[in-house]
A and B are shown apart, each in its own frame.
Chain A
Amino acid sequence: MTYVEWLIYIFLGIGLFFNFLASVGLMRFPDVYTRLHAGTKCTTFGSIFLSLAVIIYGIWKYHEGDTPLISLSIHTFIALVAIMLTNPTGAHAIARAAHRSGVKPAMAVVDDLEEKEEENDDD
């Protein structure tokens, strides 16, 4: 067991914990918007740590003489950029679609968007 292996295991553990948290949050929260909070933030953060573990693994193997495995790190990095760009945009699209299709936020203390849509209906 080297230090690199411990680092990889720790990153895999953190990533798994947050991905698991996303699934549990999906079950526990009461409505679409709060579920999106769990489903977007936690999976993005968890995927960052899982990808970091794979990137470190690729660089480590490259150091040990397994040259082609450096492409493992590079491709994982590109996949990570794709995840980080697309995840919040998708969440935004779902939230907007949910509000326009008439799902009200549960237990809401204030809803400014509701007032705006009512104003538009009056016109």
Chain B
Amino acid sequence: MISFDFTDPFILTFLLLLVCMLIAMIRVLLGPTTPDRVVGLDTINTLVIAAMIIYGAAFDEVIYIDVAIVYALLSFITTLFIAKYLEGGKL
């Protein structure tokens, strides 16, 4: 069981980033059009990468940051695919 030290600034930043993600999630749920939802998801992706970097620094583990690099590249490809799909082109 991992115990969080809530006085650690990195852990605090991580939790506040989760709050930002929740606010962006409201836009994903509300979003009147599909592109609105995609914008929300794109913002959440960047916030997740930042949160992973902060989490790696909080526990001095480099492996989380490696995951963040791969996540950044994969989420970029996902965004491009969704955009292509919205345009109505062939995948």
Interface residues of chain A, those whose CB is within 8 Å of chain B, are 8-9, 12, 15-16, 19-20, 22-24, 26-27, 32, 35-36, 39-40, 43-44, 46-47, 50-51, 53-54, 57-58, 61, 66, 68-69, 71-72, 75-76, 78-79, 82-83, 86-87, 89-91, 93-94, 96-98, 100-101, 103
Majority-rule SS of B interface residues: helix
Interface residues of chain B, those whose CB is within 8 Å of chain A, are 9-10, 13, 16-17, 19-21, 23-24, 26-27, 33-36, 38-40, 42-43, 46-47, 49-50, 53-54, 56-57, 60, 62, 65-66, 68-69, 72-73, 75-76, 79-80, 82-84, 86-88
Q: Is the CB of B62 within 8 A of A22?
A: no
Which of A27, A32, A87, A100 contacts B87, CB < 8 Å? A100
Q: Is the CB of B27 within 8 A of A94?
A: no
A43-B46, A71-B62 known; A19+B20 contact, CB < 8 A = yes
| In the bound complex, CA of A12 to CA of B53 (Å) | 12
Q: How far is the CB of A97 from chain B (nearest CB, A)?
A: 4
A-B contact list, 13 entries, CB within 8 Å:
A8-B9, A12-B13, A19-B17, A19-B20, A22-B47, A23-B20, A35-B39, A50-B13, A75-B65, A76-B57, A86-B73, A86-B75, A97-B83
